[in-house]
A = this chain, B = another copy of it.
Amino acid sequence: MNNDLSQYPRPSVTVDCVVFGYDTQQLSVLLLHRKEEPFANHWTLLGGFLRLDETFEVAAERILSSKAGLAGLYLEQLYTFGSLDRDPRGRVLAVSYFALVNPRQYNLVVGNMAHDLRWCPLSDLPTLGFDHHHIIELARRRLASKVTYQPVGFELLNEKFTITELQDLYERILGQSLDRRNFYKKIMASGILKATGERREGLKSRPAEMFAFDKTRYEQLIEEGFQFKI
């Protein structure tokens, strides 16, 4: 290493976000329709160039806010992609993040570049630009593995939800069906939900009790060495 950084050629670096949303019983990602080259008229993840005065997280928040009007999301670094040919313009690294959001709690605000912005179901993705298919696939796997040992899924639901709703979300994330009664017992026994007293009304059968994620209790349990697991 040398003390003068300017003598080394530097790559461009983008921060690309895989924003997961869950609504009407579907797991989706937020995609943006590009107008400019490269990959004009292709769908891509929300991304942008990292500025030298911001961390990855700050860049991700700027990008999510300016391109979709989203703020304060759960964010986690996923992986950094660096193949030589992933961007036709030259050497561009992508530090990828994944985010979880409840689409009902935010209105999408399309940025001033006026691209089309849309929730696309994971089960039916369009052709994507760059290596974004690859990034989404990795994010999907990471989410599936994460959800089994950390209560992250709640970010995707309304504040109050029924156990059945929670189970449906888990089944979509994991891609497999779970026994309703065992799931119920497991999640209740974990102690991380608090009853709200309310019930989901207006359906054609017995109204289910609604619960909320008890973050304080969860942190307390973690302190005591408890391990969340589904």
Q: What's the minimum C-beta distance from A100 to chain B, rounded to whole angstroms?
A: 19
**Is the pair A93, B13 in contact by a Cβ cutoff of 8 Å?**
yes
Q: Which residues of B contact A54 (CB under 8 A)?
A: 84
* Contacts A13-B13, A37-B3; A82 near B95 (Cβ below 8 A): yes
Contacts of A1 in B (CB 8 A): 34, 36, 47-49
The secondary structure that dominates the A interface is loop
CB-nearest residue of chain B relative to A93?
B13
Q: Which residues of B contact A47 (CB under 8 A)?
A: 1
Distance between Cα atoms of A83 and B50 in the complex (Å): 12
State how many angstroms separate the Cβ of A150 from the closest Cβ of chain B.
12
Instruction: Find chain B residues with CB under 8 A from A2 CB.
Output: 36
How many copies, total? 2
Specify which chain B residues have a CB less than 8 angstroms from the CB of A51 in the assembled complex: 9
Contacts of A203 in B (CB 8 A): none
CB pair B11 A52 closer than 8 Å: yes
- What 1/0 flags go to A10-45 for Cβ under 8 Å of B? 111100000000000000000000101110000000
Complex CA–CA separation, A56 to B5 (angstroms):
19
Pair A79/B77 contact, Cβ less than 8 Å: yes
Does A53 reach chain B (CB closer than 8 Å)?
Answer: yes
- Are the C-beta atoms of B92 and A5 separated by less than 8 Å? yes
Given A8-B49, A10-B12, A55-B83 contact (CB < 8 Å): yes
Chain A residues proximal to chain B, CB less than 8 Å: 1-5, 8-13, 34, 36-38, 47-56, 77, 79-80, 82-84, 89-93, 95
**22 A–B contacts from the bound complex (CB under 8 Å):** A1-B47, A1-B48, A1-B49, A3-B36, A3-B89, A4-B89, A5-B12, A5-B89, A9-B51, A10-B10, A10-B12, A11-B13, A13-B13, A50-B82, A53-B84, A54-B84, A55-B82, A55-B84, A56-B82, A77-B80, A80-B80, A93-B95
